[in-house]
Structure 1
Amino acid sequence: MKWNRYTIKTTTEAVDLISCMLAELGIEGIEIQDNVQLTQEEAKTMFVDFIPELPPDDGTAKVNFYIDADEDDNTILGKVEEGLEELRTFVNVGDATVTESQTEDKDWINNWKQYWHTFTIGDLYIKPTWEPVTDEMKGHQVLSIDPGTAFGTGSHETTRMVILQLQKYIKGGEEVLDVGCGSGILSVVALKYGANHALGTDLDPNAIIASEENAQQNDIAPEKLEVIEGNIIDDKAVQDRCGYECYDVVCANILADVLEPLSAEITQHMKPGAYFITSGIIDTKEQEVAECFKKNPELEIVEINHDGEWVNITARKRGI
């Protein structure tokens, strides 16, 4: 499908109203370009461990939108311009000029698939669903997964390190808790390597859908993998649902700033001798996170591993 791209030059204070106006006109695929810095709170909700530096915010912004080349651009653009004029009475829309630029004629839905192919982590093959199981994969564990909304496929260094640790510490029959489970990939991997049951928690309700889909795709029975929405750190209902001193392995591939308070709370859910496998830690925060782990007298760090600029810390609950 071919699209025509249009750009509205405006102000940062007007982008939300303009985006809503475009959506009401049936325009999808809106992009916002500005230099507004993320707050620490926004970074946490977006699973960003460090905030990139941006040029100074000068109050200007651009809103890009796309129109199917087969549609009547003039009619839609006329409605967009009318909408911008109406918004002038409520907000500073700036220049509010609309310019056109060209986009390539691509199959946007499927074209990205050329960049996503089967790869291995240890003896595990991770493949997209559209690629077949080959003779080379036979006799090995195979995980079929597709990229989803903001969730992992195993290709990132942090996920890779946790999977390698699961391969090492899952012996068979374990109860696994997956904190911040996202796509459910870590739970599915643990189950494929012999864990008895996995429970995932996540703040995003979409994680429940993604985890269930990936479990089904990999022939994991529904009763083997459960996912609940909520924050295990400070939500007593979630803590009670997870249970106490009942997990052999806890994995958490999440932000360093979340791992720190989690390390103080998590041992109440772990059996004596259970392993706490973590990642999502940028190397500049390694020492900070390690010190938080050491503040919990029930935790002892048994391994620290690195992959590029990312860090895995694996700890064990004392008692055995």
Structure 2
Amino acid sequence: MKWIEIKIKTTEEAYDAISYMLTSIGAGGVAIHDPNDIKREAQKPNSIDYVDEEFLDSLGEDVIIKAYFPGETNVSELISLINEKLAFIGGFLNVGEGYCGYEEMDEEDWSTSWKKYYKPFHLTDRLVVKPSWENYDIKDGEIIIEMNPGMAFGTGTHETTKMCAALLDKYIKCGHRVIDVGCGTGILSIIAGKLGAAEVTAVDIDEVAVKVAKENLEINKVDNVCVFKGVLDDIEREKRDIVVANIIANVIIDISSSVPYYLKKDGLFIASGIIKERKQEVLDEYLKKGFECEEIIELGEWVAIVLRCLDSL
């Protein structure tokens, strides 16, 4: 199958929002090369690979996003739409250079090349993400999440995912019922399932993400998660203990009227993907909807908020 590869050069603070935008307008896959991740891993005290400083400097600072659209896509219309969306995101974040060009390519040329950058890592002291093709010696008490991101976005390396994972680790109790909005590759749903949730309902608007999430659920032998293509309002309105949404501030605000229908009184909404500049905007919206702020954590340019539902609908 032929694909149109769109290349965008951006910043570390903006690539999450841009990746979400690209999938929302029809990208069949998004590959991200963040030199800052490579630098951080190489400079860890326990890194087993020696990396030359000159090589690290040569990587630069720019994050390269490559998005893949079906070969029959009208390229000029697509580029125009992408530039329009980048201009909108640029009102909130530094998007960097932006659109850099496109080329046609075969699926096999890109679908596995990113694997060399994806190694086992800790999300929390006990949660370890391991690529399905890598070996790892499990230590006592560790919970292993095996991931095969495929063409979907969401390997767990981003700050927003790390914060959500840490908050799920802190707040989930055995038997909890959970909703994962914008599940991506299913990493947070898998974590919830492995932490003792009785039931997880996961949704995403991206068909590829849903397919990959189902594959990752099988790899992890997690059978208490139901995943399907859709949005929060497509889920039957039954009361849950936790709703988690690792998306973007606009969507988190948009669903603020719906979230209370899905939470028990004192249930928790864990929201991430929020840039620091929009933290108060999100907080204000949910405080108006009968929530109270339980906890806020920050990592890099990103914020995760835990909100307690005081007035379940």
Fold shared by both chains (TM-score > 0.5): yes
Structure-2 residue corresponding to 1:125: 128
1:208–1:35 Cα change, 3 Å: closer
Structure-2 residue corresponding to 1:183: 185
Indicate if the aligned counterparts of 1:286 and 1:311 stay in contact, CA closer than 8 A. yes
1:49–1:116 Cα change, 3 Å: farther
Deviation per CA, 1:125-178, whole angstroms, max 9, x where unpaired?
A: 1111111231x4343100000233242111100000000000000121100001
Of 218, 229, 232 in structure 2, the residue corresponding to residue 216 of structure 1 is: 218
1:198 aligns with 2:209: no
Shift of 1:250: 0.5
Structure-2 residue corresponding to 1:291: 284
Deviates more, 1:278-287 or 1:32-41: 32-41
Structure-2 residue corresponding to 1:94: none
Once residues 283 and 231 of structure 1 are traced to their aligned partners in structure 2, the CA distance between those partners, rounded to angstroms, is 25
Q: Over aligned residues, Cα RMSD in angstroms?
A: 3.5
Shift of 1:37: 5.7
Indicate if the aligned counterparts of 2:71 and 2:104 stay in contact, CA closer than 8 A. no
Normalized against structure 1, the TM-score is what?
A: 0.66
Shift of 1:62: 5.5
Indicate if the aligned counterparts of 2:132 and 2:148 stay in contact, CA closer than 8 A. yes
Structure-1 residue corresponding to 2:45: none
Q: Structure 1: where are the runs of 5+ without partners?
A: 1-21, 25-29, 68-106
Amino acid across the alignment from 2:236: C
Q: Structure 2: where are the runs of 5+ without partners?
A: 1-69
Indicate if the aligned counterparts of 2:152 and 2:209 stay in contact, CA closer than 8 A. no
Shift of 1:115: 1.3
1:144 aligns with 2:146: yes
- Percent of aligned positions with the same letter in both sequences? 35
Indicate if the aligned counterparts of 1:31 and 1:63 stay in contact, CA closer than 8 A. no
Indicate if the aligned counterparts of 2:152 and 2:212 stay in contact, CA closer than 8 A. no
Indicate if the aligned counterparts of 1:32 and 1:63 stay in contact, CA closer than 8 A. no
1:39–1:51 Cα change, 3 Å: farther
Pairwise mapping of residues 1-320 of structure 1 onto structure 2 (< 5 A)?
A: 23=71, 38-40=83-85, 50=93, 52=95, 54=97, 63-65=102-104, 110-122=112-124, 123-134=126-137, 136-221=138-223, 224-232=224-232, 235=233, 238=234, 241-244=235-238, 246-297=239-290, 299-318=291-310
Higher CA-based Rg: 1
Indicate if the aligned counterparts of 1:31 and 1:65 stay in contact, CA closer than 8 A. no
